[in-house]
Structure 1
């Protein structure tokens, strides 16, 4: 007989979610952001990237329609007043060494990753010269944003794929390396619309992180240092697993249900803030 494994609540100081001392800002969007009306989230991205002086690069690596998607975002960002907008498409891994792409990122004040397939982002960019430039520019203060797949890739470990509208089980979420702009978190998008609480909890149990963020459509989180702010029409679901007292992941066979005890859950709509260091809402 296998005995239950109890895991005491922990507060590991190494599991720090707040950004490093020198950093830019992240704008992480749950997908399906408004592109035709007020464009509240995209407008905030342009504003935080320098407003009328913004130099924006649209990264289309995740999408299978780079020309169409790139043109759409050029139109939006120019309409919102950005000074310069250009597309960098790294459809092949060797494109991540293109001097023109590296120069564009080096001169940018904001970089925007479109939706599509997050695995394509890491396949084409991970451990390349362009990834190094992105991290360097982020440490120098630029804004990096991503929607849908561009949101999923933000942590050091990301959800590649998985089931929605299901209870948490071992195999519900498949994980792989992300781009590492925000450490020790798991991010899921299209959250309420696709019923993804089960897969976020499964991902957290598989790949322990300090926090899990489930971001609804047309909703974003902006992160500057240790403060997270919610923008948009939906909500952000924050799961804090640092207080978990028990999970049964070590005992599970395929298709068996996950037990998770002691986790904290926060639901935050537009305008609410969250302290990543203290792991608590700012009320």
Structure 2
């Protein structure tokens, strides 16, 4: 009788332990704002329904300048997502965006994927989660990680599917914004400051790439920059644009956002600036190429102190200014101020037009 009771007792606890180790059981991860399912590789947290939904989306791009997130820009994207599935991707960090985004609007789910190896970036399930998204946002971090880990993988292909075919609202902040232009600065050696870039536009740490990663609407001939006024990056934008023109023969444009600021571009290419600081649209002119742009020498790009027209827009919470990035037409710009930028022996000069 004692042995029978012991067998029953052991059987019961073996059953409990077996159930606790089931592959079907969810595992809580991240900051506790969501639940990641073991069968969803790279997922570090999800809020909402893991079942895919199909919603009608209204495309658009958000170029966010880093620092504090711009809530109104996230709401702008959520409104265009149709209330579908939101996916956040990153290489480092937590699932903190899940709770943040979920509180800003009604969506089916918010999930964070931490894609920190090329194996994960080439995982079919990871790529499929991305392809099923109705909104995607790339968190801040290090853009060289994104380039090295995601470029040329199934994740990269899935991201371009969202941009080019599904046309979902798609954004990024800081490093996540840096890779959204067709041209981009990788920062793989180290960052570069304006004075350094203008003193020698061919410094070894100025590593630029040409349309080999993401292919966002209207941004193929654009290079972005972030933390713009906070880190005094205006001069390096001029150096980047000069390099693109000298090295590839492309008269690229620049779009830059300061911290706490986002440039929101709708599906027709009409941009507004949301947040609390400023954004810039930089439009080099082929008829006004640099007078001196050589390795080891400071940049000279004066053209009578009218080298590069730049449109400055002060952000607002609801959105301010209008600029058409589909054609970068100066005639269609409103709500901002035009400046001339020029460079005299490596020193940036800004003059109100």
For this structure pair, what is the TM-score category when the shorter chain's length is used for normalisation?
0.7 to 0.9
Structure 1 counterpart of 2:298, from 251, 256, 263: 256
Q: Which residue of 2 aligns with 1:84?
A: 109
Q: Which residue of 1 aligns with 2:322?
A: 273
Runs of 5+ in structure 2 lacking a partner?
Answer: 1-57, 246-250, 335-353
Does the alignment pair 1:95 with 2:133? no
Alignment of structure 1 residues 193-208 onto 2, 5 Å: 193-208=230-245
CA contact (8 A) 1:174 1:203 kept: no
Runs of 5+ in structure 1 lacking a partner?
Answer: 1-22
Q: Distance in 2 between matches of 1:199 and 1:219?
A: 19
Could you list the per-position Cα deviations for residues 195-217 of structure 1 after superposition, in whole angstroms to 9, with x for gaps in the alignment? Answer: 00110000000013431112111
Alignment of structure 1 residues 43-62 onto 2, 5 Å: 43-50=75-82, 53-61=83-91
CA contact (8 A) 2:150 2:156 kept: yes
Q: Which residue of 2 aligns with 1:223?
A: 265
CA contact (8 A) 1:33 1:41 kept: no
Could you list the per-position Cα deviations for residues 227-273 of structure 1 after superposition, in whole angstroms to 9, with x for gaps in the alignment? Answer: 222111111111101355131455x2325234253311110123111
Please state how far the C-alpha of 1:47 moved relative to its aligned partner.
2.1
Structure 2 counterpart of 1:184, from 213, 221, 224: 221
Q: Distance in 1 between matches of 2:69 and 2:77?
A: 13
Task: Report the RMSD for the aligned CA atoms in angstroms.
Answer: 2.1
Change in Cα spacing, 1:249 to 1:174, as seen in structure 2 (3 Å) is farther
Q: Which residue of 1 aligns with 2:22?
A: none
Does the alignment pair 1:175 with 2:208? yes
Q: Which residue of 2 aligns with 1:12?
A: none
Moved more, 113-122 or 206-215: 206-215
CA contact (8 A) 1:236 1:267 kept: yes
Question: Which structure has the higher relative contact order (CA within 8 Å, separation 6+)?
Answer: 1
Moved more, 259-268 or 163-172: 163-172
Please state how far the C-alpha of 1:191 moved relative to its aligned partner.
0.2
Moved over 4 A (4+): none
CA contact (8 A) 2:258 2:277 kept: yes
Could you list the per-position Cα deviations for residues 67-104 of structure 1 after superposition, in whole angstroms to 9, with x for gaps in the alignment? Answer: x2xx2101101111332011122111121221221221
TM-score (structure 1 length as normaliser): 0.81
Structure 1 counterpart of 2:146, from 121, 145, 162: 121
Change in Cα spacing, 1:97 to 1:160, as seen in structure 2 (3 Å) is closer
Q: Distance in 2 between matches of 1:134 and 1:217?
A: 25
Does the alignment pair 1:73 with 2:124? no
Q: Distance in 1 between matches of 2:230 and 2:110?
A: 31
Q: Which residue of 1 aligns with 2:279?
A: 236
Matched residue count: 249
Structure 2 counterpart of 1:150, from 160, 176, 179: 176
TM-score (structure 2 length as normaliser): 0.65
Q: Distance in 2 between matches of 1:278 and 1:34?
A: 26
Change in Cα spacing, 1:180 to 1:78, as seen in structure 2 (3 Å) is same
CA contact (8 A) 1:60 1:88 kept: yes
Tell me, what secondary structure is at the counterpart of 1:26? strand
Q: Distance in 2 between matches of 1:228 and 1:152?
A: 17
